[in-house]
Amino acid sequence: MKKVEAVIKPFKLEEVKKALSDIGIYGMTITEVKGFGRQKGHKEQYRGAEYTIEFVPKIKVEIALSDEDEEKVVATIMAAAKTGSIGDGKIFITSLSDAVRIRTGESGEAAL
């Protein structure tokens, strides 16, 4: 089993969610997060004063899935979240040793 964490631009969430549901992925966790990468934030102007926003708002999408779905999910997220500009985000993939469904006690891939 794998866990895919994608940090994307907020306005791309609906597009990513639809693309994932089109390939049969329905379970996901969404978190509003803030951070920065190489761009180290950006500058904005408000009432004539310029200020730096160091932590840029993003959305983190977390999906637990079977090993065979990994490549398809990563490719789908990349296609749906890409704008071609700085700050499109990152995808992190980690191995899951186990998962347990609280309601039924099922474990492993059956819990997904």
Beta-ladder partners of 8: 59, 89
- DSSP assignment of the chain equals -EEEEEEE-GGGHHHHHHHHHHTT----EEEEEEE--TT--EEEEETTEEEEE-SEEEEEEEEEE-GGGHHHHHHHHHHHH--SSTT-EEEEEEE-S--B-TTT--BGGGG-
The pLDDT of residue 49: 75
Helix axes 13-22, 70-81, angle to 10 degrees: 140
Quickly name the fold that domain 2-111 has.
Alpha-Beta Plaits (3.30.70)
- List the structure tokens of 34: 């803030």
Share of the chain above pLDDT 90, in %: 74
* Domain chopping of the chain, boundaries: 2-111
Q: What is the pLDDT of residue 77?
A: 98
What confidence tens digit (pLDDT) does each residue in 70-99 have?
999 999 999 999 999 888 999 999 999 999
pLDDT digit string (tens) for 34-49?
988 776 666 666 777 7
